[in-house]
Amino acid sequence: MSETTGTERIIIALLVVSLLVSGYAVMSISPIAKNTKDLADSIEGIGDVSDVIGDLSEDID
């Protein structure tokens, strides 16, 4: 096993830190993505309600 130089240690440390940061980012984005999907579903639901109201108003005319 050869000795690692200071530059190699810095590169290894940066790789480890970047892996930790990317893992943390994925964990923190996951709930946001779930909430975004819920928001998209609710907006789609509002669109369905407006379609029903539009159909009712056409029936009244």
Rounded to whole angstroms, how far apart are CA atoms 34 and 51? 26
Cα torsion angle, 22, 27, 30, 31, sign? negative
What's residue 21's pLDDT? 85
Rounded to whole angstroms, how far apart are CA atoms 20 and 24? 6
AA identity, residue 57: S
Give the predicted TM-score (pTM) of the model: 0.42
Tell me how crowded residue 28 is: count the other CB atoms within 10 A of its CB: 9
State the burial class of residue 13 (Cβ atoms within 10 Å of its Cβ: 0-12, 13-18, 19+): exposed
pLDDT, block means (10 residues), the chain with 61 residues = 79 89 76 71 68 68 57
